[in-house]
A and B are shown apart, each in its own frame.
Chain A
Amino acid sequence: MKNETAAVATEVKKRKKFTWTRDDSELALLGLPATIWFAVFAYLPMFGLIISFKNFRLQPGKGFLASLFASDWCGFENFEFFLTSNTFSMLLRNTLLYNLVFIVLNLVIPVALAIVINQLYSKMASKCYQTLMFFPYFMSWVVVSYFVYAFLNPTGGLANLIIEAFGGEGVMWYSQPQYWPFIIVFMSTWKGMGYNMVVYLASITGIDTSLYEAAILDGATKWQQAWYITIPTIRPMIIMMFILNIGHIFYSDFGLFYQVTRGIPTSLYNTVSTFDTYIYQALLSNASIGRTAAAGLFQSVCCCITVLITNAIVSKIDPDSAII
């Protein structure tokens, strides 16, 4: 089916490369509403990017836009507070490493679970599990942090009670950095598991059953079916999700890193600080929209470069799965 698609595509391309057809007009019309949406709600506000390079001052009697254009340019001054920080390399390291782990786990675990949950006999049970696995997604990190605290609280927390019941010695969880990479990764996977599974679930159910029928006639085992039919068919989906996630590799979930750790205690600082938590702490007081914008722009540019590189590599190997 894929070859067929590609063949049609190239043939079509060859045949009518520069002629605008009725078909094109109709498609353009279909895409118009969303294009207008993007123009208004995504592109129009992009003048906000200029704030990064401005020393923003409101001008008397003028609105935001006029003030923005009248404000002085200040070069890269707004970027300095994080670029020249001693902790900059540590922050980047943490942000990237955590994200890499998240990306891998958010691919492997949901895909595996989606394949497995489709095999359950009882559709009722399957639906029930799926619903329950969604619950974490709806709990804000603040609420989750209460729970984690009830579990890890040094005095009377559930974890320590269990350890002590088995004769062990309680752990001061919030001052022991060695545990936190695991806790963070666990919490992140826990929260996103149900959500991330849906795409693959929907994707797997869309697979033509005749493919499996043919495979069974050939005597393929369950494992072989998964490996040779399911995964290749949903591969474009997996690759796309991978690229989309790479697009956020310089961002981190502030709630996860800041609230779950209870505001990042000093002893955990080097383990759980990310770019976003640093920005938050540095701009806690004395914030300016220029600096906030500069931090965001820096993350965007880094992500943009990473995504374009990834996309270029993907399109070399499998042009059909690239997102651009």
Chain B
Amino acid sequence: MSTFAEKRAARKAEKRLEIEEAEAGFKLNKIKPVTNACFNVLFAILSFICIFPFFFVLIISVSSEESIRMNGYSLLPSEFSLAAYQFLWNERDMIFQSLLVSIGVTVLGTVIGVLLTTMMGYVLSRPQFKLRGFLQWVVFIPMIFTGGMVANYVVIANMLHLSDTIWCLTLPLAVSSWNVTISKTFFRQTIPDSIIESAKIDGASQLTIFSRIVVPISKPVFATVALFLTFGYWNDWLQASLYITKDSLRALQPLLNTMMGQLTYLANNPTAGLSLQQYRASMPSESVRMAIAAVIVIPIACAYPFFQKYFISGLTVGAVKG
């Protein structure tokens, strides 16, 4: 009991020290107030440019059908309407289910992906590892060559029988050569070889070194890889369109993609005649599609600060000193 309390107190103190150190470094390094103001203006403008289209999406989602028909997509709709959100609310069971799937897939995939990616990245970052050259090629080749959609389908659906499971949405995207290479470069930059060497002299195994030393001092690496994976999973719709037939496993992005695809399908099949075209009336309107687009963006954009808080400086120093 006492050890636990002690540990916690020690950790707290350590954290305070870290923050103090970081702040001290930061204060020393301050830019001039005028420059700061200029930079703030610059970023305010950039942020505005980035967020503006999203406002536009929001505005379309609250424009009335009538107003879209008369004026097209306009920044100032002549008439507002919450019909799209009314529609989504009526479909809340489906939307909520999709949101859960999106979150579930993203979390599970990210956890698996971060583990596999960073372990591999760490291994590749060890210069004396005998298989390093070989594994680097193993990682490099898939970055350039892929088997294509049909071959992937054969492996995942016909050989591994993963269709209609959460695994077909998570496993295929868990690792990418891109992320492995990024994490490798990160580890090369942030982990001094001296720490590893001294830990080895103390008799620690590589597993221990990875979990006890590398993980705590490389939070930015993990946060970056996790962020990329999270975004990748959240935005993905292709896996679902290939492997998922059950609606209960359809995430938000595939849902939107299916809706977007409806009008394309109608346009591509002019010869199917009126018996097809009559389904146009039952398809969701522009404002509904935009409302879904908005629903997709907001949760994930809000997740960013969660990852960002791990971008903390001064960790390496602390670890070396300790």
Contact = CB atoms under 8 A, between A and B. Distances in A.
B50 A133 contact: yes
B186 interface: yes
Given A51-B150, A205-B311, A195 B231 contact: yes
Contacts, number: 320
Contacts of A181: none
Interface string B233-272: 0110000000000000000000011001000000000000
Interface in B208-234: 210, 220-221, 223-224, 227-228, 231, 234
Nearest to A200: B224
Given A190-B49, A304-B145, A13 B128 contact: yes
Contacts of A225: 29
Interface string B124-156: 101111110001111111111111111110111
Contacts of B189: 203, 206, 233-234, 236-237
B105 interface: no
Q: Give the interface size class of chain A.
A: 35 or more
B282 interface: no
Contact of B227 (A65, A138, A142, A198): A198
B46 A133 contact: yes
A38 B304 contact: no
A42 B175 CA distance: 10
B119 A121 contact: no
Contact of A206 (B51, B53, B131, B313): B313
A236 B311 contact: no
Given A35-B135, A132-B51, A203-B220, A30 B300 contact: no
A84 interface: no
B28 A212 contact: yes
B321 to A, nearest CB: 10
B18 to A, nearest CB: 11
B85 interface: no
Contacts of A213: 25, 28
B43 interface: yes
Given A195-B231, A209-B22, A41 B144 contact: no
Contacts of B228: 198
A218 B311 CA distance: 27
> Chain A CB within 10 Å — which of B21, B122, B188, B210 has the most?
B188
B130 A29 contact: no
Given A34-B180, A139-B54, A240-B185, A49 B73 contact: no
Contacts of A137: 231
Interface in A5-29: 5, 8-9, 12-13, 16, 20, 22-24, 26-29
Interface in A190-233: 190, 193-195, 198-199, 201-203, 205-210, 212-213, 216, 222, 225, 233
Given A24-B130, A216-B28, A48 B150 contact: yes
A171 interface: no
Given A45-B154, A198-B224, A236-B188, A131 B304 contact: yes
Interface stretch (A99-107, A122-130, A274-282): A122-130
Nearest to B310: A202
Contacts of B73: 146-147, 149-150
Given A150-B56, A202-B221, A209-B314, A139 B297 contact: yes
B74 interface: yes
A10 B108 CA distance: 40
Given A30-B207, A31-B131, A209-B22, 19 more contacts: A4-B194, A20-B130, A31-B124, A33-B115, A34-B180, A45-B147, A46-B146, A48-B150, A51-B150, A64-B158, A65-B154, A116-B39, A132-B50, A135-B53, A194-B50, A202-B220, A213-B28, A293-B148, A303-B144
Interface of A: 1, 4-5, 8-9, 12-13, 16, 20, 22-24, 26-31, 33-35, 37-38, 40-49, 51, 63-65, 113, 116-117, 119-121, 125-140, 142-144, 146-147, 149-150, 153, 156, 158, 190, 193-195, 198-199, 201-203, 205-210, 212-213, 216, 222, 225, 233-234, 236-237, 240-241, 244, 247, 289, 292-293, 296-297, 300, 303-304, 307, 320-321, 323-324
Interface of B: 21-22, 25, 28-31, 33, 35-36, 39-40, 42-44, 46-47, 49-51, 53-54, 56-57, 60, 71-75, 115-117, 119-120, 122-124, 126-131, 135-152, 154-156, 158-160, 171-172, 174-175, 178, 180-182, 185-186, 188-190, 192-194, 197, 200, 205-207, 210, 220-221, 223-224, 227-228, 231, 234-235, 256-257, 260, 290, 293, 296-297, 300-302, 304-305, 308, 311-317
11 contacts: A31-B123, A34-B119, A41-B156, A46-B145, A116-B39, A139-B53, A190-B50, A199-B224, A202-B223, A205-B312, A206-B189
